[in-house]
Amino acid sequence: MNIGIKHRAALFLLAVLLMIPASPLSVSGHALAASALPADLQGHWAEEVLSRWLEQGLISGFADGKIRPDQPVTRAEWMAMVNGRFGLAAEAGTLAFADVKPAAWYAAAAAAAVRQGYITGYADGTLRPNAAVTRAEAAVMLGRLGQLEPAVEAASFTDSLPAWSKDAVGAVVGAGWMNGYSDGTFRGATALTRAEAAVTLDRTFAAIQKAEKSESLSGDMDRPGVYGPTEGTAEISGDAAIRTDGVTLQNTVVKGNLTIAEDIGSGEVHLWGVTVEGQLRVIGGGINSVYLWNTAANQLVVDKEDGKVRIVASGDTTLDTTDLFSGAILEEHEMSGGGQGFVLINVASQAAKSSLVQLRGEAETVRVAASGIRLELLSGQIGRLEVLSGAINNVVYLAQGTKIIVAVLSSPVTFEGPGQVLQKILGYEVQGGSGRRSHSGGGSTTPTNPPDPPDPEPTVTKLVYSPEKLEFDGVGHEISVALTAVLSNGAEVKATETADWYSEDEAVATVAQGTATSQGEGETWIGAKYGGLTVRIPVKVSVPQTPVPTVTKLVYSPEKLEFDGLGEQARLTLKALLSDGSEADVTEAVLYSWDPTIITFENGVFTSFGEGESSIFALYQGLSVRIPVKVSVPPAAAPAYRAALSATPGDSVAGAEINLTLRVEKSDGSLDTGFSGTKKITISGVEQALDSSYGTLAGTILTGSSGEADLLFTDGEATFTFALNKADLQRLAFAVEGVVIPTDEFAITIAPAAAAQLQIATQPSGSVASGETFAVQPVVEVMDAYGNPVKDSLSVGVSVSGETAALTGTTSVQTTDGRASFTDLGLVGGDSTVTLQFTAGSLPSAASSPITVRAFSAGDGTADTPYVITTAAQLDSIRYHLNGHFVLGGDIDLSGYSGGLGWTPIGISNAGFTGTLDGQGFTIRRLTSLRPGGASIGLFGYIDGATITNLNLSDVNVLGYMYVGGLVGYMNTGTVSGVHAENVTINGTSENLWFAGGLIGNMAAGTINRSSATAVNLNATYYLGGLVGATGAASSITESYSSGELFINGANLGGLVGTNSGTITDSYSLANITGASSTAGGLLGINRGAVLNSYAAGSFYSNAVQLGGLIGATDGGTVTGSYYDSDATGQTDTGKGMPKTTAEMQQQSTFASSGWNFTSTWAIDAGGYPYLKWQRP
C-alpha cells in the first residue's frame, strides 16, 4: 500500500514537524489549562486532539467561543483543515465553480485543494462548499491524498456503500486512517463531524509521518518533547545536545558527541534506539534522570557535579566504556537481545573523594583509579574488579547475593557486606602488625602477616581468537571461531565450546559454540565471555544486490481521449518501460486533469465535463506524460431519423403470431416521442412455404414475399403481429414511411408446426411381381399444415387395399426429420391392381398410385411364353393356373412357408396340375409340408398329365398318411424327367404311412426318366420305395436311381420301388433297408411288372418273411439281366435277380454278358458300381 504524500508542500511540512516536539501537551505550561478550553470541548471524547489543534492554530472556534465538535463539517471547513494539517499553501486564482466567489473565506483553500487533486467539483459546475462531508466522501479524498491502492476487499461492512467509494473506504480502513462502528457498519452516508474530521486527519497525518524514512534532525534539543521518527532512522550529522528536561530522542544516529547538558538540572531524559558514534556525555540529570533503551555508545562519560545522576540501561543497550568523573548510579534493567549494558566501567582518578558509585547489573570489568570512593554492588556481579596502584582508601560494598569473580588488587581495598569475592589476586605488599583486616565477601577475614601463602589458582589473563574478523558474502553461511584462554601461569586452554557466546544483532548473525551463521545483511559484533574476560569480534555480512531497474519511459493507452458527449467515462492504462527492457503496470502514478471544466478525474475514471480540448498529466518517478483530451458535444438530434426494432423476436413456429414493436428514433438514438399517427409499414424477405403460402402481417394475409399494412404509432412506437409459414431461417426487413433511415433488418428461425398431413414424396413401383420387393421403395413425409416436414419422430404404417394381394417386408417405419423411408416392401398375390394406404396416428391417410401386381415375373403361361417364376409366392401361384406352362427363373427358397402345416401341395385329385414346369436346372430348397392324416403330400399333391423337367429339390421334409413324395404325392399320369431330390425326409403319422417314395408317393401311369432321389430317409408302413412307393401297369422308370435310409414296419419295401406293376429299365438302388415284416427287396418289394438291366447294392437289415437281394417277391413279374450285391445285402436268392459278390458287381464284364449298354447308357469305374452316364456328362 502506498501511504506517501504526493505534494511537496506536505513533505516539507513533515520535515519541519520532525524538528519540533511531537507532543507539546505533555509539558505543563504549554498546554491549554482546562479552564481555558471552550465549554463544549471540556470532557469531549476528542478533547485532547481538538485542544492541540486549537493550540497549533489548525482549527478555530466560532464567534460565541464554541468549537461545536459534533456539528457536521462542511466541504469548505474540511479543505481548510486538510490544508492546515498537511501544510498545503493557499493559492490565489479564480476557480471555475459557480458557487465559489473569489472573496469567499475558503476560496484560496478551495483553489489549493482542487489543484492538489483531492477534491473535485460536481457535474453541474458547482463545488458545494457548504455541503456536509460524508464519511464515504472523506474516505475518497483521503485515499487521493495518500494515493492509497484500492482495496475493496477491506470494505467488508454490513451496510451498503456507494460503488464509487468502496475502493477508497477499503484502502483507508486498511491503512488505519478510518474505522467502522462496533455494530459492523461504516455509515458512509453519515455526515462527518468537526471532531471526527480532526481526529481522522490527525491519525492520517501520524500514519504518513510514520512512513517517512530517515529524515534529518537539528543538533540542539531545547524544548520538551519527542525528537526523531516513530519508525525508520533520523541522523544528526554533527554534535548534539539535550538542554532541557522532558526530552525523548528516538531512532536517531548521532555522528558526533551527544551531551546531556547541565541545563536539564535534575530532570529526565530518554534515549530510545539511539546510536552515538562519538561520546555520550552526561553532565546534567538527577536520581531519575537518564534512560537508555536499545542505545549504543562506544564511550559514556559521566561528570555530574554533585554526583547524583542515575543512568538506566535496558533492552539492547551496550556501552563499551563508561568513564566516571563523578559519582553515579548505573543500572541494568530488563536487558534483551545482544545488549551488554555497562561493559567496562572506569572510575577515573579525577573523581572526588567520598564519591558514591552504585551498580545494579552485570559489569564485565570495573577499574578503579580514584581514591577515597565508595563502590556499591547492589545486585548482579562484576566479572573483574581492578583496583589500580595508588588508588587507596576505597571501600567496596557487596550486597546479599552479589559477587565478584576475580578481584585484582594493586592497592588495598576494604570489602564490606554479605556478598562474595571468589578470587583475589594481590598485587601489593600486605602490612603486618597493624591489626587491620581486609574484608572479603561473606565477612571472611584475611590475617595480617600470613605465613607464606600458597600459590593462587591461575586466572585467565587473555583471550585469543581466530579469525579476528568474520566476513560473509551471503546469508546462511557459517564460520567457526577458535577461542583460546591464556592463563596467569602461562598455560593455554581451549575455550571455544565452554565460553558464553552471544551476538549483538541476531538479525545479522547468530553464534553457538563458536560457530557464527550469517542471517542478514549488515554489520555487528559477536562476543565470548570466559574466565571473567570478554572479547568482541566484528562481523560483516554482505548480500550481492541485484540492480533495481529504473523507469526510462512512460507509455499509455489510449494515446488520446476523445469523447462524443458529456458525462462519458474512460480509463487510462499507464505502463513504465524499465531500464532492463521489461514493462510494468503503474498504479502509483499521480494523475490529474489540467482543466477540470473539460475533463474530471475521480477513482481512476476520467469523465467528460465540458466541450473543448485539454490535457491529462501523469507523473511517476520523475517522469511525466501529457495525454491530449478532446470533448465534442454532438448537435441536436434530428427527429424521425431511424426505424428500429425495440427488441429482436425469438424463434417461433410456422403460422404462429409473433409480437413485434417498431420504434422510430432521433439521430442521437433516443426515442422520437413526437412520431405518432397511422403510418404504412412494409415487410420484405418472406419465404414461400411448400403449400405456396407466406404468412400474415397485422392480420392481413401475405400473397408474396413482401406486403404492406397501416399501423398506428403512438409516441414513436407501434406494436403489431405477424406470422411466417415457411419453417426455415428467414431474413426479414421492416420499413416505416416518413423516416430518414426507414428499414431495420433481423433474422428469425421458424420451426415446423404440429404434424397435420402425410404426403408421399416417392411413389412405390407401379408394377411388381408377386413375392418381389418394390424396385422403388416408397418415402412418406409427415408435414405440418404448411407443408413443412415435422421434425418429431412418428411411426408411419402401411397397408394394402383389397384382398387380392398381401404386403411383405417392414410395414411400420419411424420418421427421421419428417421422412419415413421404407426399404423392403413387396407384394404377394395374383394378377390384380392395388393401392397402398399410409397412416400415422390420427393424421389423414395418404394413398399411393395404383400398383399392378403380377402373379409371375414374366410370361403369359402359354407353351411358347411360359410364366417365369422367381419367388416362392410365384411358385405358390401355380395352384391358380393348374394348366399353365411355367419355368423357374432362379432358385426358390420355401423356408417362408415352413410355419404351421407348412407348404400346401399344388393340385388335388379332382383338380390336379396338368401343365408343364421346366426347372431349367434351378433348385427349390427347404420344402416343408407337415400334414398328419393328409393324402397326396409333396411339392405337388396331384398331377394328371403334367410334365415336370430339369428340376432339383433339396432339404425336403414331408409328413402324411397316404401318397407322400418329395416331388409328387400322387401321379395319375404324366412325365417326370431330369428331376432330382436330395436330403428327403418322409415320415408317416405314428409310423403309419401308405405309398411313400423319395420322389413320388404313387405313380398310376406315366414315365420317370433320368431322375433320382438321394439321401432319402423314409419311415413308413406299406408300399415304400426310395424313388417311388408304387407304380401302375402303364408306368415306366428308365435310367433313374435312389439312395438313402429306408425304414418300414410293414410290407412291400423296395430300394427303388415298393410295389412295381410297370416297367423298370436301366435303373439301380443303393438305399439301405431296415425293417419290414413280410416283403422287402434291394430294388423292389413286390414285382408284378418287368425289370430289365438293373441292380441293387444297398445293405439289408430285415427279418421279413419274403426277402430278396433284388426283389422281395414276384407276383407274375419278370426279371431280365439284373443283379444284386450278395455281400452287401447278405442275400443269395435266385430266380428274381442274380446274386454277385461285391468284386463281381464292380466288374463291367459281369453286366456286359447280359447285354448292358456301356456305350451310351452305363459306365463303371474301377472299384465302383456301375452308374448312369447322364450322372457325369
Strand partners, 269: 247, 290
Q: Could you tell me if 89 and 80 are in contact, meaning their C-beta atoms sit under 8 angstroms apart?
A: no
pLDDT digits (tens, 9 = 90+) for 599-618: 988 877 889 988 888 888 88
Bigger pLDDT: 13 or 977? Answer: 977
Rounded CA-CA distance 936/905 in Å is 8
Instruction: Count the domains in the chain.
Output: 7
Best CA proximity match to 1121, nearest among 1101, 1100, 1140 = 1140
Within this chain, do residues 896 and 1006 fall inside the same structural domain, yes or no? yes
Residue 882 neighbours by CB distance under 10 Å: 19
Rounded CA-CA distance 839/330 in Å is 119
In 3-state terms, what secondary structure has residue 17? helix
Report the percent of the chain where pLDDT is more than 90.
Answer: 55
The reported pLDDT for the residue numbered 1156 is 96
Is residue 558 reached through a cis peptide bond, with omega within 30 degrees of 0 on the bond before it? yes
**Rounded mean pLDDT, 428-432:** 49
Q: Could you tell me if 755 and 810 are in contact, meaning their C-beta atoms sit under 8 angstroms apart?
A: no
**Rounded mean pLDDT, 1064-1090:** 91
Within this chain, do residues 832 and 915 fall inside the same structural domain, yes or no? no
Q: What is the 3-state secondary structure (H, E, C) of 1138-1152?
A: EEECHHHHCCHHHHH
Q: Could you tell me if 1108 and 1131 are in contact, meaning their C-beta atoms sit under 8 angstroms apart?
A: yes
Domain limit, last residue, from 751, 766, 795: 751
The reported pLDDT for the residue numbered 1076 is 65
The reported pLDDT for the residue numbered 646 is 87
Residue type at position 552: T
**Rounded mean pLDDT, 549-561:** 85
The reported pLDDT for the residue numbered 548 is 72
DSSP string computed for 1035-1070: EEEES-EEEEEEEEEEEEEESSEEEE-SEEES-EE-
The reported pLDDT for the residue numbered 16 is 31
Domain limit, last residue, from 631, 656, 686: 631
pLDDT digits (tens, 9 = 90+) for 319-343: 999 999 999 999 998 898 889 999 9
Within this chain, do residues 841 and 873 fall inside the same structural domain, yes or no? no
Best CA proximity match to 575, nearest among 630, 628, 618, 629 = 618
Q: Is 1103 part of any domain?
A: yes
Rounded CA-CA distance 199/61 in Å is 16
The reported pLDDT for the residue numbered 154 is 62
pLDDT interval class at 220 (50, 70, 90): confident
pLDDT digits (tens, 9 = 90+) for 1113-1159: 999 999 999 999 999 999 999 999 999 999 999 999 999 989 999 99
Best CA proximity match to 272, nearest among 243, 234, 224 = 234
Q: Is 1163 part of any domain?
A: yes
The reported pLDDT for the residue numbered 286 is 65
Contacts of 1116 (CB under 8 A, 6+ apart): 1088
Q: Is the pLDDT of residue 723 over 90?
A: yes
Q: Is 240 part of any domain?
A: yes
**Rounded mean pLDDT, 513-540:** 92
Q: Is 67 part of any domain?
A: yes
**Rounded mean pLDDT, 234-262:** 89
**Rounded mean pLDDT, 226-232:** 81
Q: Is 477 part of any domain?
A: yes
Distances (CA, A) of 988 to 937, 996, 1043, 1045: 11, 9, 19, 15
Q: Identify the CATH number of the domain in which residue 727 sits.
A: 2.60.40.10
The reported pLDDT for the residue numbered 686 is 96
Q: Identify the CATH number of the domain in which residue 1110 sits.
A: 2.160.20.110
Q: Is the pLDDT of residue 450 over 50?
A: no
Within this chain, do residues 772 and 710 fall inside the same structural domain, yes or no? no
Within this chain, do residues 259 and 300 fall inside the same structural domain, yes or no? yes
Backbone angles phi, psi at 877, to 5 degrees: -75, -5
Cα angle 640-642-643, degrees, rounded to a multiple of 5: 100
**Rounded mean pLDDT, 1085-1092:** 97
Q: Could you tell me if 1129 and 1099 are in contact, meaning their C-beta atoms sit under 8 angstroms apart?
A: yes
Residue type at position 144: R
Q: Is the pLDDT of residue 621 over 80?
A: no
Q: What is the DSSP letter of 662?
A: E
Q: Is the pLDDT of residue 660 over 60?
A: yes
DSSP string computed for 1076-1143: -SSEEESSEEEESSEEES-EE---EE---SEEESSEEEESS-EEES-EEEHHHH-----SSSEEE-HH
The reported pLDDT for the residue numbered 442 is 35
Rounded CA-CA distance 1080/1057 in Å is 10
Q: Is the pLDDT of residue 792 over 70?
A: yes
Within this chain, do residues 888 and 976 fall inside the same structural domain, yes or no? yes
pLDDT interval class at 168 (50, 70, 90): confident
Q: What is the 3-state secondary structure (H, E, C) of 482-533?
A: EEEEEECCCCEEECCCCCEEEECCCCCEEEECCEEEECCCEEEEEEEEECCE
- Highest mean pLDDT among 82-91, 173-182, 691-700 belongs to 691-700
Residue type at position 801: S
pLDDT interval class at 93 (50, 70, 90): low
Bigger pLDDT: 829 or 32? Answer: 829
Within this chain, do residues 820 and 761 fall inside the same structural domain, yes or no? yes
Within this chain, do residues 945 and 1083 fall inside the same structural domain, yes or no? yes
Task: Return the C-alpha cell found at 914.
Answer: 396338368
Contacts of 524 (CB under 8 A, 6+ apart): 338, 503, 504, 505, 508, 509, 539
Average pLDDT, the chain: 87
HSE-up (13 A, CA, CB side) for residue 927? 31
Q: Is the pLDDT of residue 389 over 80?
A: yes
Backbone angles phi, psi at 518, to 5 degrees: -70, 135
The reported pLDDT for the residue numbered 512 is 92
Q: Is 860 part of any domain?
A: no
Q: Is the pLDDT of residue 143 over 50?
A: yes
**What's the distance, CA 436 to chain centroid?**
96
HSE-up (13 A, CA, CB side) for residue 744? 18
Question: What angle do helix axes 135-146 and 75-86 make, rounded to 10 degrees?
Answer: 30
Q: List the domain range (segments joined by +) for residue 515.
A: 460-541
Rounded CA-CA distance 851/766 in Å is 5
Within this chain, do residues 599 and 623 fall inside the same structural domain, yes or no? yes
Q: Could you tell me if 546 and 529 are in contact, meaning their C-beta atoms sit under 8 angstroms apart?
A: no
286 burial level (CB within 10 Å; 0-12, 13-18, 19+): middle
Give the CA-trace dihedral at 444, 448, 452, 456, to 10 degrees: 40
Q: Is the pLDDT of residue 443 over 70?
A: no
Best CA proximity match to 1044, nearest among 1018, 1016, 1004 = 1016
DSSP string computed for 959-995: EESEEEESSEEEEEEEEEEEEEEEEEEEEEBTTB-EE
Within this chain, do residues 829 and 879 fall inside the same structural domain, yes or no? no
The reported pLDDT for the residue numbered 989 is 62
Backbone angles phi, psi at 628, to 5 degrees: -70, 150
The reported pLDDT for the residue numbered 33 is 40
Q: Is the pLDDT of residue 1166 over 90?
A: yes
In 3-state terms, what secondary structure has residue 841? coil
Alpha helices in 147-270 (DSSP H): 166-175, 194-211
Bigger pLDDT: 432 or 1063? Answer: 1063
Contacts of 692 (CB under 8 A, 6+ apart): none
Q: For the stretch 370-407, what's the b/e string if a residue is b when 16 or more beta carbons lie within 10 angstroms of its beta carbon?
A: bbebbbbbbebbbbbbbbbeebeebebbbbeebbbbbb
Q: Is 159 part of any domain?
A: no
Strand partners, 684: 733
273-278: list long-range contacts, CB under 8 Å, 24+ apart: 273/228, 273/233, 274/228, 274/249, 274/250, 277/253, 278/239, 278/254
**Rounded mean pLDDT, 621-650:** 86
Q: Identify the CATH number of the domain in which residue 504 sits.
A: 2.60.40.1080
Within this chain, do residues 392 and 263 fall inside the same structural domain, yes or no? yes
Task: Return the C-alpha cell found at 786.
Answer: 404448411
Rounded CA-CA distance 1020/1107 in Å is 18
pLDDT digits (tens, 9 = 90+) for 988-1046: 765 578 899 999 999 999 999 999 999 999 887 788 899 999 999 999 999 999 999 88
Q: Could you tell me if 535 and 465 are in contact, meaning their C-beta atoms sit under 8 angstroms apart?
A: yes
Within this chain, do residues 392 and 421 fall inside the same structural domain, yes or no? yes
If residue 112 lies in a helix (H) or strand (E), which one and from where to where? helix 107-116
HSE-up (13 A, CA, CB side) for residue 1097? 17
Q: Greatest CA span in the chain, whole angstroms? A: 191
Task: Return the C-alpha cell found at 1023.
Answer: 408300399
Cα angle 711-713-715, degrees, rounded to a multiple of 5: 170
Domain limit, last residue, from 585, 610, 631: 631
Q: Is 1055 part of any domain?
A: yes
Q: What is the DSSP letter of 546?
A: P
Bigger pLDDT: 1071 or 167? Answer: 1071
If residue 424 lies in a helix (H) or strand (E), which one and from where to where? strand 424-426
